[in-house]
Amino acid sequence: MTQQLPACIEDLPASLIDVAETLGLRVALALIQNFGGRELRVPVRPAPDHPLIIALGEQDGFAVCHFLAGQTIYVPLGRAGGLRRNAATLDAKGYDRGAIARMLGISQRHVRRLLNDEADQDSRQGSLFPEE
């Protein structure tokens, strides 16, 4: 199965929105393509042969290192936000979960998880535990 990358900043995982807004969507997508699903230690002074520099090129690699210097970040795979939104849209149109799974190229179980997570995040739903 081919990797479905986010098409716009709003579709990116929350952890990469700052990167996209500062360095561009292209850089955030390159991080997902090269390091998705992994923790990445971002060096303060990377060597020219550092995996970040090799994968992103000198200009983008050094820009990422300058922006995230010394941090360890988790680079998500990047599909969940767009998949969740697409699954919710198809669900609202009346498609059953099996059809949604076929259309999105994921398992029916994953569709159920995505839609259940969406339901859990309903802003109209009050909390059982009051905030202190």
Token pair belonging to 127 = 């909390």
- Contact 42/52 with Cβ under 8 angstroms? yes
pLDDT in tens, the chain (132 residues): 445 666 677 777 778 889 999 999 999 999 999 998 899 999 999 999 999 999 999 999 999 999 999 999 999 886 656 778 888 899 999 999 999 989 888 899 989 988 987 555 555 556 666 665
- 92 found inside a domain: yes
Number of Cβ within a 10 Å radius of residue 1: 5
**Which among 95, 75, 87 is positioned nearest to 116, based on CA atoms?**
87
- Taking the C-alpha atoms of residue 69 and residue 47, their distance in angstroms, rounded to an integer, is 13
**Inside any domain, residue 25:** yes
Q: What's the token pair of residue 52?
A: 């970040």
Pairwise CA distance, residues 68 & 16, whole Å: 11
**Contact indicator for 104, 84 with CB cutoff of 8 Å:** no
Judge if 13 and 70 occupy the same domain: yes
Structural domain includes residue 17 = yes
The answer to whether residues 65 and 115 belong to one domain is no
By residue range, what is the domain housing residue 26?
A: 9-75
Cβ atoms of 6 and 12 within 8 Å: the answer is yes
Residue 25 shares a structural domain with residue 63: yes
CA 111: distance to chain centroid? 17
Residue 132 covered by a domain = no
Model pLDDT for residues 66-104, shown as the tens digit of each residue: 999 999 999 988 665 677 888 889 999 999 999 998 988
Length of the chain: 132
